[in-house]
Amino acid sequence: MWTTGAEQVEQAVAECVELLGAVTGRDWEGVRAGRLEWSCRRTAVHIAEDLIAYAGQLAGREQESYAPFELVLEEGAGNADALRVIGTTGALLAAAVRTTPREVRAFHPYPFRSANREGFAAMGVAEVLLHTHDVAEGLGLAYEPAPGLCDFVLTRIFPHVRPGESPWRTLLWATGRGELPGRPPVAGWRWSNNLVLGTERLTLQGVTPAAAADLAAVGDGGFAWIEGGPVEGTRVGAGLVHQQYEDGVHLPEWGMYVLVRREDGRAIGAMGFHGVPDAQGRVEVGYDLVEGARGRGHATEALVALSRWALDRPQVRTVVANVERGNTPSQNVLARAGFARVAEDPGHLAYELREPGEG
């Protein structure tokens, strides 16, 4: 069953509070938190700071920057009090995730300057897991969170990281906190929220590996579809995206996007790339719509936006598309979007759209 992430926030916080609650009588201020420069006490407070910051972004619908406030514990607050604040701020983030509508996005800098409720939940869980690890390492405690929590984080905000046998070990490696056989150490890292592109009537919402797996398994991927959706082509494409993720070759902005109507937040189809641009700067695009959404220009509108975005990338010179010879509606979409027919075979027609100035 699809989840927005509120339950994962609550579970991660509960595990953190239970583990560290057993050692509140120890010195946290004078002990360094694992590999961090911070003390265990400072790191615990930082967990609460992140949780309340993410809750504030969602609740306030912040669009341009972080809301200008900070969390400060009262003078004399002890380690047990710090854990109480982690529990409270975790509850606030979970509540914000539960009550924020699906289509709302709020400011976060990495990497595309916004995240939805699921992204903020995944970031909150990541902060709790990783910094609980740091504190536990500093205090000499054994800690390994539930695998499902790690998988929740990896499949939503680490789409570029190839899965490993252990989700926890993979997350530690991806954040410079551990090693994985056959993979080089990670020196610098950032997570990656999904890219969303806007048009007049639509948003093109990047599909995470979690959503791709759900769509491929006959779920809805966390989207509210119009009747008849998603269609089989979307499910097949989602399966390919998830396979790329498992193979470690998925770059999220070159994957699949679900087309969502602004007027009602309903998903009407999907569009995306078959893979990353090749050495010649060519990238192939494909798309489909639920039958009830066809004939209204949505595909053309989305294709213009996605093609323009691709041609604005330095590694792309040409967007290509291949359609069946008998698929006249799709051919018309390509023509309206400015594509030119460049080749054909008995079964298919090939179209191209080049960057301005390209012959």
- Token look-up 């926890």 returns 168
Q: What is the DSSP string of 170-198?
A: HHHHHTTS---TTSPPP-S----PPPEEE
pLDDT at 1: 73
- At 14-48, the pLDDT tens digits run 999 999 999 999 999 999 999 999 999 999 999 99
Residue 122 pLDDT greater than 60, yes or no: yes
CATH class of 6-174: mainly alpha
Domain ranges across the chain: 6-174, 196-354
pLDDT at 239: 97
Domain 6-174 and domain 196-354, same fold? Reply is no
- At 308-321, the pLDDT tens digits run 999 999 999 999 99
- At 172-196, the pLDDT tens digits run 999 999 999 999 999 999 999 999 9
pLDDT at 2: 86
What distance in Å separates the CA atoms of residue 11 and residue 17, rounded to the nearest whole number? 10
What distance in Å separates the CA atoms of residue 157 and residue 109, rounded to the nearest whole number? 13
Confidence category of residue 359, pLDDT binned at 50, 70, 90: low
Q: What is the mean pLDDT of residues 52-71?
A: 98
Q: Rounded to the nearest 5°, which phi and psi values hold at 286? A: -145, 165
Residue 241 pLDDT greater than 70, yes or no: yes
Residue 170 pLDDT greater than 80, yes or no: yes
Q: What is the mean pLDDT of residues 194-218?
A: 98
Alpha-carbon Rg for the chain in angstroms: 23
Q: Rounded to the nearest 5°, which phi and psi values hold at 345? A: -135, 180
CATH architecture of 196-354: 3-Layer(aba) Sandwich (3.40)
CA 68 to chain centre: 25
Residue 70 pLDDT greater than 60, yes or no: yes
Confidence category of residue 357, pLDDT binned at 50, 70, 90: low
What distance in Å separates the CA atoms of residue 18 and residue 90, rounded to the nearest whole number? 14
Neighbours of 35 (CB within 10 A): 11
Which residues neighbour 81 within 8 Å (Cβ) at sequence distance 6 or greater? 73, 74
pLDDT at 358: 60
